[in-house]
């Protein structure tokens, strides 16, 4: 699930990715919900969904800290990307 999330977000434009990182609850709900849906509600599936939710939380935190995010239409810079992607910065 973590690799799938990484591959999906690697293909997203920088501005859209920054906006998604500004709303981490949406990502967590999608990851955990899809995990529960795929595994059919079994106990093993629920544990797998929770683990994937934890991994997505760590990934979102990493992305926010290192690459920044857009929250409430305001740019919050990261360590590696300080320039707002809405201004035409390259990814």
Q: What is the tens place of the pLDDT at every residue in 3-15?
A: 666 666 677 777 8
The closest alpha carbon to 51, from 27, 64, 35, 38, belongs to 35
Beta bridge partners of 75: 70
Q: What is the tens place of the pLDDT at every residue in 32-67?
A: 888 888 887 788 888 888 888 898 889 889 989 998
pLDDT at 26: 86
Q: What is the tens place of the pLDDT at every residue in 13-23?
A: 778 888 888 88
pLDDT at 61: 92
The domain locations on the chain are 2-87
HSE of 38 in the Cβ direction (CA atoms, 13 Å)?
A: 14
């Amino acid at each position: 699930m973590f690799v799938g999330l990484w591959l999906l977000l690697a293909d997203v434009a920088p501005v859209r990715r920054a906006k998604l990182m500004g709303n981490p609850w949406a990502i967590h709900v999608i990851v955990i919900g899809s995990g529960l849906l795929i595994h059919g509600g079994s106990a093993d599936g629920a544990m797998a969904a929770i683990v994937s939710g934890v991994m997505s939380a760590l990934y979102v935190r990493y992305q926010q800290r290192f690459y920044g995010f857009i929250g409430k239409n305001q740019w919050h810079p990261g360590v590696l990307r300080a320039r707002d992607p809405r201004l035409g910065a390259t990814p």
